[in-house]
Chain A
């Protein structure tokens, strides 16, 4: 079966750095997405990786290793507004998105 694993919840301190991991086992691979979802709101797109390596976008970076079935989202200089759930999703061989359950990130002052 297809499976995506992420930690359920993480806690970090304002101003610090946090890394949210995602491992996947899917039927084929056509890219990996990260979305941010604030409580009660819709998910919004953060990043897309299809090749191995690190993609940096401001305070957020996303890394992919296809051979390991592994990705992480790195958030730097954490702000209180970064408190949200972070969803990992993989585009499989049929171009269907397989979603992880999400990681709830709690930022403390």
Chain B
């Protein structure tokens, strides 16, 4: 059974803290994605990765960085958390881009920055 897991369901951090969100998939997928989801805005792509050690900016990369050292793991890093980064963060993976390939999502991390 396909599975994408995220390190935390809920996280509370203080302004200025460095925050790590981890995502692991067990499907041997090449592509992994980080989104944030805010009410009324839909899913917005932060970063994605097509392969180990490769990363591409999405629509809203400012204030974030990523790391993909192993195929199954994709980490999102908030270098210095700010209150406007309070959001639901969703990780997804897909076998390959370019043809029909649904994205599988993790359960999400609801991050609150105070």
Contacts and interface: CB of A to CB of B under 8 A. Distances in A.
A binds B: yes
Chain B interface extent, by class: 10 to 19
Nearest to A31: B100
B24 interface: no
Interface stretch (A56-64, A72-80, A96-104): A96-104
Query: Chain A contact residues (Cβ within 8 angstroms of B): what range?
Result: 20 to 34
Contact of A96 (B40, B45, B104, B106): B45
Interface of A: 4, 8, 31, 33, 40-45, 48, 50, 87, 89, 95-97, 99-102
Interface of B: 4, 40-45, 90, 97-98, 100, 102-108
8 contacts: A31-B100, A33-B102, A40-B108, A42-B105, A43-B103, A44-B105, A45-B102, A97-B45
